[in-house]
Amino acid sequence: MTRVLTGIQPSGALHLGNYFGAIKQMKNLQDTSDLFIFIANYHALTSLKDAKALKQNTLDAAINFLALGIDANKSTFYVQSDVKEVLELYWILSSYTPMGLLERAHSYKDKVAKGIAANHSLFSYPVLMAADILLYDAAIVPVGKDQIQHVEMTRDIAIKFNNEHGDIFTIPEFKIDEIVATVPGIDGAKMSKSYGNTIDIFCDVKTLKKTTGKIVTDSTPMDAPKDFSTCNVFALAKLFLDAAGQEELAQRYKKGGEGYGHFKAYLQTLVWDYFAPAREKRAYYLAHIDEVYALLDTGAKKAKSIASKKIEIIKDAVGIYH
């Protein structure tokens, strides 16, 4: 089975864009590939300097992903910092990473432009990402568009290394799910934490009602027929409906007689019901935190059994004594 690997930044509440843009695909990949998923807490450290928050976010991410259907028995699910070999490889790869390559990174330049302190880890972030990927010989790396360049840099580093030492690393390819359209936020722009326009998966019903109530619509009167194709409420509801359900909702728009408030209330029910099983699972894990630790430990052991063998081959190739 093809090894597919992806990292998750532990950065707080998950929203519908995260679920339909990424997590749902990961769930499918569990059945069709040898999937490695890890929580990139060392990457998060580059911009989060609050120890308590970083620990909490890491654990929250684990609980949320397990609740949403990441199955620790099907995939290898672990926390990045639990496999220390990744930091050894990070340093080794640093010696094979030209400065010019890192200087061209958009993500670094964007973060600095946004005012994040330009420290060394932020700059060398792509090298750690390369180590994440190359340590496990991942063939495919599913990522969001903003991460494509990082995977390309991983390829460059791996090719440079292989040219000097033989075929040590698998050259990975990125994978973007083109079928998944961008999920709009409540203002119609791309749903994103940084825009404050999200509908969060695990919010309470009151908050859900409030946020769905704020979705921007036009001001077509209640009785008049409405254009579903340009409506943000419809675009979100569609994610939860099969073809017949979408058609039925489209007819309600076309018919008139219902206001946007009705459609928002319907969307609220769709969201709430869809995530009911995940909410229950999450409550269970919150009450049984030891089980979460045990699952992460199993994942770390599985990952480590591969990483520890690979790092010896790499160290041997570059001449590191052991």
Tell me which residues are annotated as active site: 111, 190, 193
- Note whether 192 binds ligand ADP by CB under 6 A: yes
Choose between 14 and 93: whose C-beta lies nearer to ligand ADP: 14
Q: What is the largest CA-CA distance in the chain?
A: 78
**Residue 33 interacting with ligand TRP (CB under 6 A):** no
Contact partner, 133, from ligand ADP, ligand TRP, none, Cβ < 5-8 Å per class: ligand TRP
Q: Which is nearer to ligand ADP, 150 or 226 (CB)?
A: 150
Shortest spacing between CB 252 and ligand ADP, in angstroms: 25
Distances (CA, A) of 288 to 60, 232, 249, 258, 293: 13, 38, 40, 45, 9
Among 74, 193, 281, 310, which residue interacts with ligand ADP (rule: CB under 6 A)? 193
Q: Is 94 in the site for ligand ADP (CB under 6 A)?
A: no
Which tokens is 32 given? Answer: 């069709």
* Cβ nearer to ligand TRP, comparing 146 with 218: 146
Residue of 87, 91, 123 lying closest to 107 (CA atoms): 123
Site string for ligand TRP, 2-21 (x = CB under 6 A): ---xxx-x------------
Alpha helices in the chain (DSSP H): 16-18, 24-32, 41-45, 51-67, 85-94, 99-103, 106-113, 120-134, 148-165, 205-213, 232-237, 243-255, 260-274, 276-287, 289-318
Q: Quick one: which of 7, 10, 17, 172 contacts ligand ADP (CB under 6 A)?
A: 17
304 closest CA partner among 38, 7, 32 = 38
Pairwise CA distance, residues 216 & 212, whole Å: 9
Q: Which residues sit at the interface with ligand ADP, rule CB under 6 A?
A: 9, 11, 17-18, 21-22, 144, 182-183, 190-194
Q: Which residues sit at the interface with ligand TRP, rule CB under 6 A?
A: 5-7, 9, 40, 43, 129, 132-133, 141, 143, 147
